[in-house]
Amino acid sequence: MSDSIYDFQMPMSSGEVKDFSDYKGKVLLIVNTASKCGFTPQYDGLQGLYKKYKTQGLEILGFPCDQFGHQEPGSDSEIEQFCTLNFSVDFPLFKKSDVNGKHASPLYEYLKAQAPGVLGSKSVKWNFTKFLVNKDGKVMGRYAPKTKPEAIEKDIEALL
């Protein structure tokens, strides 16, 4: 298990590998996303936060995931196109990845260990689970899928 979020490297939807050490000093909101989910309209809220706070040091990182109800069936390029056309998303989108199970990405294993869910459960329950990371790389919180991005704006502001 890694000691820091900055130890990770993850492939972006473009195929480029992103070194998380590039995010040192930034506040991160890491979200597992899906294009065909009841929570998909949260892309609007995420993009709104990104637009409002990007210059102050907020990065939103989207991780498309097809583990919940087959709600992200598209390819990485189809997902990126969907997000751009429908929600004007310009925050980073990563390659589609698993958040639970034996093929879960190491990043998500780390996040779940740092911020367990209700009653200490580790698994991500559904699309649009959000993890908030402070400027020092410490996981500060985990938010349920139903928690709208706007509802965590005060927590983000406090970390910026």
The distance from CA 47 to its chain's CA centroid, rounded to whole angstroms, is: 12
**Sequential DSSP letters for 40-71:** TTHHHHHHHHHHHHGGGTEEEEEEE---STT-
* CA distances, 43 to each of 32, 46, 49, 113 (Å): 11, 5, 10, 25
φ, ψ dihedrals at 131, nearest 5°? -120, 130
Write down the catalytic residue from 5, 37, 111, 156: 37
State both tokens at 83.
């997000």
d(Cα 119, Cα 7) in Å, to the nearest integer? Answer: 28
B/e letters for 78-111, b = 16+ CB within 10 Å, e = fewer, are ebbebbeeebebebbbbbbbbbbeeebbebbebb
Q: Is 65 a catalytic residue?
A: no
- For the annotated catalytic residues, the residue numbers are 37
